[in-house]
Structure 1
């Protein structure tokens, strides 16, 4: 096997060798544990593959025996020849039937387990804290649902049959060759043993080299995404050279890592390819065979089986080498999936409670992402029903973190958050999220119709209710102008809708839900003046009679809030209405002066 081939095979697995934990889980048998539901199918598949491979070598043995019979006794070989013709034909027929059945069982088992695993993963994801997805989970989910499962598919549908087939061919072929002539059999198999030794040498440091390649691949991907996502800024400010240098550096690192691997294994890899080739076996068999024939220790007829059977063995072994890499990739993929499935779900209350009202209370709340430094520390505040509470502060002050604790995207490290007097941890997660309308700056739309995107707020709503919500969100007229109206299909980015229109669409969704608690996270921060005005009117409709908590970047949008909470470095440093906070001449007053262009 060539170094390049080894690298391509291993690089696919390397993305799943990103930690010692993954390797440890693989060694502990993650693949076997995940395959437990289809163990019987795998055993049947392996048995069928074994029998199929054994039957598949019979025609080659038959050809060799026909040649031996014709060389040893040309006149009286007729009966033996036809007997071996029948045996060879029967072997080919059995090989074909068993191969088809083995493939059928393997693909059935593959479809069955992948369906079960996808179902398990999706159900488990539904129980994980949403904060995990926002922090780092999306990439892992994509890897688990695509790459990892694909690698496990390769193990079941292909690698298992190739490995069992190769072992069977070697054992059956070796048994037959030993029955013909022991010294020649030892020479033929010795070539393959030497190939195996050099292959093991070439692969001994694969993990270290692959991990280095993966780090470089990650840097290349990050630099590529950075350049693509920021192309407008890059071209506007002429920073393309610096960004491209980061890409070039990552490519150089990848090249150096690859070159280091090639330099280390080039000799052993070339030797494994040489000794694993048909030419190497043929050369060894011909040289030794002719020498034995000339010495009289081997009949010419007995040389034929080695030219037919032994020379063909590498054709079965080389796919098995690739299959062994597939098994390694599958083990690593299984480890990643098992690690994902082992992530603790969001704890559900043992004794669920129902809130009495929809007032929100933060009671000495603290939270830390890393368990060391608090992003929010000792925050206490009450947001009464029917009021608007604005949260402001510098970037990184803890505003978004605090509002993420309310719907339990994360759980508090200390203290408690209550809705209607009940700790949010005592409210079933489905009920908790159902009691809130969440509107974020980053709009999330489905690849579905406009109507269905709104109906997410309440799946049982009829068309009339959807339209009323759109009217209330000041988006109805825009929808009517779309080519298909409410049936217009949107992509994940919202299609032809502007940023403000997409935002109003999500507000219509929130209005339709009718949830009593509304959380707005910088809902107008990225909009122009006209769009902001339209969105503000929609938000005013949404907020009627609700407990509203809004994170605000533009302070003029929350001057009418019932209370404003001012955060700095994770702490609540000021609170009160707009005029009172200005009179204190504290952080809020300085922020207001900076935004309004007034000298403090």
Structure 2
């Protein structure tokens, strides 16, 4: 016997995560720092190694400059003078190679561990999110975070971070050495860098707004492309095939116009920024100015050598700053999206779990709002007795799907209670709830796995005989045996099922799970007549002895239901059996007459 739940108080269950019920969660501070916590020390070591490698990489050029100076002083140079410099150059080169390799390897290992940790963390968190959030937003947000955004962090930490360290560290040592050789030519070597910074700043003016518009323009193209692909058949069936692609063409032309304007406004400054820091341009500048200084005896030929070797490296950072800034911004944006998903409020688990006693479902005073302002459901009272079929009907937007989604706890009610066997759904542990409440939706999700594994989803330990028995009851066994490998056939590769077949497979899955309470969201909505008949047979097998809540758009499919509930504007306006509601002459009678007349017209048209 289950324990009777205690009086409901705010402390009766674990509080929701911060931000729950207030729209989007607040943006967490410094998301990159938050995400890199587990590997921060290793990334710091790799940055240190890369710094050493960058500095050591400059030393051979300095050694060569010193050797050139000693060879051109007019004093005979012996081995005692030159060999230490040669050894220094070789040792520095080997050190740069060793430290650079170690830095890259350590950064990649740290990044690999970070990717694994983030994906595991995301998987655990997504598994605790309300199902309504995943249903409403689909899998796009999760896919982007788990795959695209984590990959963007790989580029940032395993490549961009070390590249930035290298291009910022090496020029510092090079410039410091050049100032010890000749301060005048050293100042000249800084000029391209300063000009590059100035020109690049001008090119990047207003970049944030332009990037926002860039993303919006790409979004419009994506939306138009989806509309074009999904709507082309409808447009062509009405002889308006040309109209189907007009919005897509408009979106692409709008993007082209925007991008052309952006390029025109930045072309001169961005091109100039790249040119002034190009190694050939910097080398030419130093050669010309150095030649003047040499001819004026202000500089020796040997002193010009280090500027020709190291001068182009001083301005090198500006040559790669554009792509690196873009990669850093992409990584920052990815970190923000990942942390927002990780901070999304999870489904609150009860502090004091309660198990239901029986399978009677009661809704009392249920009010629900998605945004906290507009109520989609208002003061709904409803009873679903064990072993009965209750149908929800009503016009589009009346709240049928929302009401049905409360039973499997896709959402929590804003006010009122939904109980199962006397226990509030919010007090039932999620694992226990989904053993007792199942659902079959219009949009069937099949895994890329064998047919048997798809059916076994609710009961992985089920035997082959049990899987086949449920497939037969769901009227899908014959189709499965016709597949190349029968129940071992992997779905999602070369084999796909029609909508009606996928629906019957999901019914077999629900039969095997054997949940005593089921929510059916118009399982025959998109089926052809043959599939609909098979699905109805499968649903009859599924309904036996269970408590069913059915969302019905075609009233003829639920006329034998034990109770029909009419929803309008989120309120229950009528409920009863079919014959009683028709005789009452209310809203249900009007809906029935409208659908019956439409069906008769279709039949008459077919007869003609």
> How far apart are the structure 2 equivalents of 1:106 and 1:543?
57
Structure 2 SS opposite 1:345: coil
Match of 1:556 in 2: 556
Matched residue, 1:204: 205
Q: Which residue of 2 aligns with 1:169?
A: 170
Does residue 330 (structure 1) correspond to residue 323 (structure 2)? The answer is: no
Q: Which residue of 2 aligns with 1:14?
A: none
Once the two structures are superposed, residues 430-458 of structure 1 have per-residue CA deviations (whole angstroms, 9 ceiling, x without a partner) of 21122122111111111111100100121
Aligned to 1:594: 594
What stretches of structure 2 of length at least 5 have no aligned partner? 1-22, 602-608
Equivalent residue, structure 2, for 1:154: 155
Which secondary structure state, in structure 1, belongs to the residue aligned with residue 460 of structure 2? coil
Q: 1:133 and 1:299 mapped to 2: Cα distance?
A: 72
Judged with a 3 Å threshold, the aligned counterparts in structure 2 of structure 1 residues 346 and 112 are, in CA distance, closer, same or farther, namely: same
Question: Deviations along 1:297-346, whole A, 9 cap, x unmatched?
Answer: 11111111101111244445533553333222212211111111111111
Shift of 1:64: 2.2
Distance of 2:372 and 2:236 partners within structure 1: 41
Match of 2:365 in 1: 364
Q: For 2:382 and 2:444, how far apart are their aligned partners in 1? A: 28
**Contact 2:170/2:313 (8 A) holds in 1:** no
CA distance in 2, matches of 1:119, 1:36: 15
1:292 alignment counterpart: 293
Q: Answer yes or no: is the 8 Å Cα contact 1:159–1:324 preserved in 2.
A: no
Residue 89 (structure 2) aligns with: 88
**Does the 8 Å contact 2:407/2:437 carry over to 1?**
no
Mapping for residues 260-339 of structure 1, pairs under 5 Å: 260-315=261-316, 317-339=318-340
Measure the CA separation in 2 of the matches of 1:264 and 1:77. 59
Q: Is the 8 A contact 1:276 1:314 kept in 2?
A: yes
1:499 maps to 499
Q: Counterpart in 2 of 1:5?
A: none
Instruction: Tell whether the 8 Å contact from 1:201 to 1:268 is kept in structure 2 after alignment.
Output: yes
Preserved contact between residue 172 and residue 314 of structure 2 (Cα < 8 Å): no
Tell me if the contact between 1:162 and 1:319 (Cα under 8 Å) persists in the aligned partners. no
Residues 498 and 148 (structure 1), Cα distance of their counterparts in 2 relative to 1, 3 Å cut: closer
Tell me the residue number matched to 1:13.
none
**1:348 deviation in Å?**
1.0
The 8 Å contact of residues 199 and 273 in structure 2, kept in 1 or not, is answered as yes
Q: Deviations over 1:157-213 (max 9, x none)?
A: 011111111122111101111111111111102221221222122223111001001
Assess if the C-alpha contact under 8 Å between 2:468 and 2:477 holds in 1. yes
Change (3 A) 1:64 1:317: farther
Deviation at 1:141, TM superposition (A): 1.4
Structure 1 stretches lacking a partner, 5+ long: 1-20
Are residues 423 and 138 of structure 1, via their aligned partners in 2, closer, same or farther at CA, if it must alter by over 3 Å?
same
Q: State whether residues 564 and 577 of structure 1, in contact with CA within 8 Å, keep that contact through their aligned partners in structure 2.
A: yes
Q: Tell me if 1:127 matches 2:128.
A: yes
Mark the CA change 1:45 to 1:320 in structure 2 (over 3 Å): closer, same or farther: farther
Structure 1 Cα separation of the partners of residues 164 and 393 of structure 2: 63
RMSD of aligned residue pairs (Cα, Å)? 2.1
Contact 1:159–1:320 (Cα < 8 Å) also in 2:
no
Tell me the distance in 2 between the aligned counterparts of 1:267 and 1:394.
60
> 1:67 is matched with which residue?
68
Q: For 1:456, what is the secondary structure of its paired residue?
A: helix
* Residue 515 of structure 1 pairs with residue 498 of structure 2: no
Aligned residue pairs total: 577
Q: Which moved more, 1:428-437 or 1:131-140?
A: 131-140
Deviation, 1:144, is 1.0
The 3-state SS of whatever aligns with 1:597 is helix
SS of equivalent residue, structure 2 residue 396: coil
- Between the aligned partners of 2:377 and 2:461, the Cα distance in structure 1 is 38
1:375-425 deviations in Å (ceiling 9; x for gaps): 222211111001010111112111111101111111111111111111111
Cα distance in 2 for residues equivalent to 1:144 and 1:263: 34
TM-fit CA distance, 1:74:
6.6
> How far is 1:137 from its partner?
5.2
1:108 counterpart = 2:109 = yes
Listed one character per residue, the Cα deviations across residues 492-520 of structure 1 (whole Å, up to 9, x for unaligned) are 8x934332222111111101111100111
Give the Cα separation in 2 of the matches to 1:294 and 1:230: 76
Separation in 2 of the partners of 1:76 and 1:502? 86
Q: Tell which deviates more after alignment, 228-237 or 211-220.
A: 228-237
Contact 2:405 2:411 in 1 (8 A): yes
Is 2:577 the partner of 1:577? yes
Name 1:194's counterpart in structure 2: 195
Structure 2 counterpart of 1:543: 543
- Relative to structure 1, the CA distance from residue 234 to residue 78 in structure 2 (aligned partners, 3 Å threshold; closer, same or farther) is farther
